[in-house]
Amino acid sequence: MNVLTGDRWKRKGITVLWGPAALASVATPAEVLTLRQFVKLSEAWPDADDLPGGGDRLVVAGLKGVLEVLASDEAADWLEHDFRHRIIDFQDRYEGEVALVLWFPSNGPPFKMSPADETYTWSPHGRAVLPFGRHLWTGAERDVERIIVGDAIDADGPGWVGLFHPRIS
């Protein structure tokens, strides 16, 4: 398991974030886009300087809500084929120099990692397990880093506030 204790995730890559203090460190409420706004923005990406947040990051809320209302197979398909495509477009447009932070509100880490193969899964409201990492990172889960903040040293403890991937393909 890879651990990230710095703030590189605030400037590049793809982050799934659930720690409220960590979110507050990167965006004000006015700078957070809804998933609908993100989809609309993806139709014609603006210059980085015109992004909410000053051009070095884009924070999006709503992914968790969409995945919760879809049936498991629909959620997996949407995550892998539609949403992932938009993330790749985002990375390509900004040449990996703008962070995409996906706000995933939760009371603690929402994901489980299998120690055997370092895959990340999510089970919304006790429904079927969604292989979140496989559908979002498509085989590159070993490159995922756990974001640890504060003085925490336990990668499974309260300092674990998100997952970071430098670039998906």
pLDDT tens-place string over residues 37-96: 999 999 999 999 999 878 899 999 999 999 999 998 999 999 999 999 999 999 999 999
pLDDT tens-place string over residues 94-144: 999 999 999 999 988 899 998 888 899 998 877 788 999 999 998 788 899
Q: Quote the Cα angle for 55-148-114, to 5°.
A: 110
Position 150 confidence tier, pLDDT thresholds 50, 70, 90: confident
| pTM of the full structure | 0.94
Q: Give pLDDT, residue 54.
A: 80
Strand locations in 70-152 (E): 99-103, 111-114, 119-122, 145-148
Strand 145-148 relative to strand 160-165: parallel, antiparallel, unpaired?
antiparallel
Position 157 confidence tier, pLDDT thresholds 50, 70, 90: confident
Strand 14-17 relative to strand 160-165: parallel, antiparallel, unpaired?
antiparallel
